[in-house]
Amino acid sequence: MIAQALLVVALAGTIASTVFLVLALVAARRFVREARQTQPEQSTPLPAVSMLKPVHGMEPRLEEHLESFFLQDYPAFEIIFGARSADDPALAVVEDLRHRHPQVPVKVVLSGNPPWPNAKVWSLEKMVAAAAHDLLVISDSDVRVAPRYLAEVCAPLANPKIGLVTCVYRGVPTGGPWSLLEALGMSVEFASGVLIANLLEGMKFALGPTMALRREVLEKIGGVRVLADYCADDFVLGKLVAAAGFEVRLSRHVIDHVVLGRALSASLHHQVRWMKSTRYSRPLGHLGSGLTFAMPYALLGLAAGLALGNAALGLGLFGWGVANRMLQSLAIGWGVVRDPNARAWFWLYPLRDLLGFLVWCASFFGGSIEWRGERYRLTEGGRMVKI
């Protein structure tokens, strides 16, 4: 009886994860097709841009990542770096790049200790006030972009109906097996979810590595300060912009997002924190995402088939689960975001899928997180309360 019940659960999960794969393939095809059909922008002068880039300490490849923003093929832009204090080691890298690229206007804004739960948002509040231009591009410090990034991200904002542009990204590991698995999750699992959301209902959220918008749009939703209490400030920003009647556009430009080389415990801690913020930001969607994994149901199907004396059925369910995730890695991780690791290590992605399921399960235990040395309790809607 128990084996039969497990088989029913395995079959339901296998069907659900297969539907998820089909939707991901359809969404990927549309994304790639539209990217190829995108016409070169007209010769209308592109407006000047203020890029806002919060920094917090040293990170792997920080100089390389920051320099990619100095090397933009764009007529006029400034870069504003925000740090909590003048002794932040990242500012030494900024100073070196400023001397290396004197043609790029650079400002450094020191925010001091944050009075808000989200320190990044406090820094952004100061940076927006210092920005000279009305076109704002907010970008994390751990991303790397191509020279046409600014032009491709900012061009859609010439349409007044488009309020925000964001980018999907590929994970870039910095060493170690856990960094690789976490990066594969970004390139495949996370990218699949974003593409499917864009296919089914359009973008109703933003992704933190890049958020480009006009100052007037930001002011219409109440300014940066409305994000002060939220952990997933990027998700909430996109949600508010969409609720204000503007379109959130997913750019065809794919960027690199670095993943730190950490021990297993640190990697899992980071992923569970992110999953918990998702659980509170969009609880129903997070609960439903448990059906998008394939390997837990593949293992369940294998166990149920063997218990029922039907090894062929069990092996068939397990084999399809493995093939499902390998195909997802190749189609999304390589076919869309062009992550070479998703192609080279596609056979390892079923393990990442199983790990992702375990992280998802762990996200339901407890309602507190640790972020930059401080502990917070998450409340309804993803708000943070400092403990």
Cβ partners under 8 Å of residue 42, min gap 6: none
Per the structure, the count of domains in the chain is: 1
Q: Strand 368-371 relative to strand 247-250: parallel, antiparallel, unpaired?
A: unpaired
Q: Residue 38 pLDDT > 70, yes or no?
A: no
Average the pLDDT over 374-383 and give the result: 88
pLDDT at res. 271 = 92
Domain with 39, as residue range(s), is 1-387
pLDDT in tens, 138-148: 999 999 999 99
Q: Residue 41 pLDDT > 60, yes or no?
A: no
pLDDT at res. 177 = 92
Lowest mean pLDDT, pick from 14-23, 272-281, 296-305: 272-281
pTM: 0.93
Average the pLDDT over 223-244 and give the result: 95
218 — pLDDT class (breaks 50, 70, 90): very high
pLDDT at res. 387 = 84
pLDDT in tens, 338-348: 999 999 999 99
Tokens of 258: 């670095």
Q: Residue 16 pLDDT > 60, yes or no?
A: yes
Share of the chain above pLDDT 70, in %: 98
* Domain CATH for 206: 3.90.550.10
The full DSSP string for 6-26 is: HHHHHHHHHHHHHHHHHHHHH
305 — pLDDT class (breaks 50, 70, 90): very high
pLDDT in tens, 149-185: 999 999 999 999 999 999 999 999 988 899 999 999 9
pLDDT at res. 366 = 87
